Amino acid sequence: MTHRLAAYGAQAAVVSGVLSIVGTVVLLLFFALEAPAVIASGNSDLWTPLGRTNDLLVGLSALAAIPLAALFRERWRVGATAATGPTATYAVGLVAMLGVGAFGVSSFANLIPLTSLGAPAAGALAALGLWQVIVCLRSAEPALRGRLRKVGVVSGIGFVLEFLAFLAIGGSSGIADPRAALRQPLFVAIGGIGLLASVIGYPIWSIWLGRRLGRGQTL
């Protein structure tokens, strides 16, 4: 069972990372082609094909990582002195991944205004980052040794910084008018740093981890 879960976890990590890379490419295209129109309109709920496709890809990337979270729980529990740590961490990761997935689907389908989705989406991403940081720092998973562990911590902190910046600009009310949000450059910069750390760090961490798990490497 554990061997099969390891295979699923390795595949899930690679798929999640690839989806994240595609999402990053789409996000860059959004910033170049659609973001100026959104800012000019002053309406953050404006439906944009590239922007909403990025949201969907982020959601699918999170959903794809669920087997990886299950793998970490099982391997961590083997050497843990108490079962509460791995189980609680898994619960945080599972809720976060499901939350990010629900956000992506809801945003792409335009089921709920994007400004209404802002708070739960940012919170779910922060929880995903927290899960990533805890796993990298506390799990005894041998595949996470070395630089990969550091990449995971940086990526996870990036997700958390995005959430803190979101709160600092006023949460959902702050992003309702993108022009107003841009008048707070410090917090926009913090959010931008977090975004860069997550969109660059997460796919590197995920694919690298998946390859190590798939090959049984620990170095």
Answer for the pair 162, 197: CB distance below 8 angstroms, yes or no: no
* pLDDT above 90 coverage of the chain, percent: 62
Torsion sign over Cα 22, 26, 29, 31: negative
Per-residue confidence (pLDDT) for residue 41, from 0 to 100: 86
Per-residue confidence (pLDDT) for residue 130, from 0 to 100: 97
pTM: predicted TM-score of the whole model, two decimal places? 0.90
Say which residue the tokens 């997700």 belong to.
159
What's the CA gap between 186 and 183, in Å, rounded? 9
What's the CA gap between 107 and 59, in Å, rounded? 10
* pLDDT above 70 coverage of the chain, percent: 93
What's the CA gap between 9 and 1, in Å, rounded? 12
Identify the weakest region by mean pLDDT among 10-14, 68-72, 74-78, 155-159.
74-78
Burial 151-174 (b: 16+ CB within 10 A, else e): bbbbbbbbbbbbbebbeebeebeb
pLDDT in tens, 43-59: 888 999 999 999 999 99
Per-residue confidence (pLDDT) for residue 81, from 0 to 100: 54
pLDDT in tens, 73-119: 887 776 555 567 888 999 999 999 999 999 999 999 999 988 888 89
Range of the domain at 172: 2-215
What's the CA gap between 96 and 84, in Å, rounded? 18
Greatest Cα pair distance in the chain:
56
Straight-line distance from the first to the last Cα atom of the chain, in angstroms, rounded to the nearest whole number: 24
Answer for the pair 17, 217: CB distance below 8 angstroms, yes or no: no
Domain count, the chain: 1
Per-residue confidence (pLDDT) for residue 79, from 0 to 100: 57
Per-residue confidence (pLDDT) for residue 141, from 0 to 100: 80
**Chain centroid to CA 129: how far?**
6
> In this structure, what token pair is assigned to residue 95?
């809720």
CA-closest candidate to residue 132, choices 63, 57, 205, 195: 205
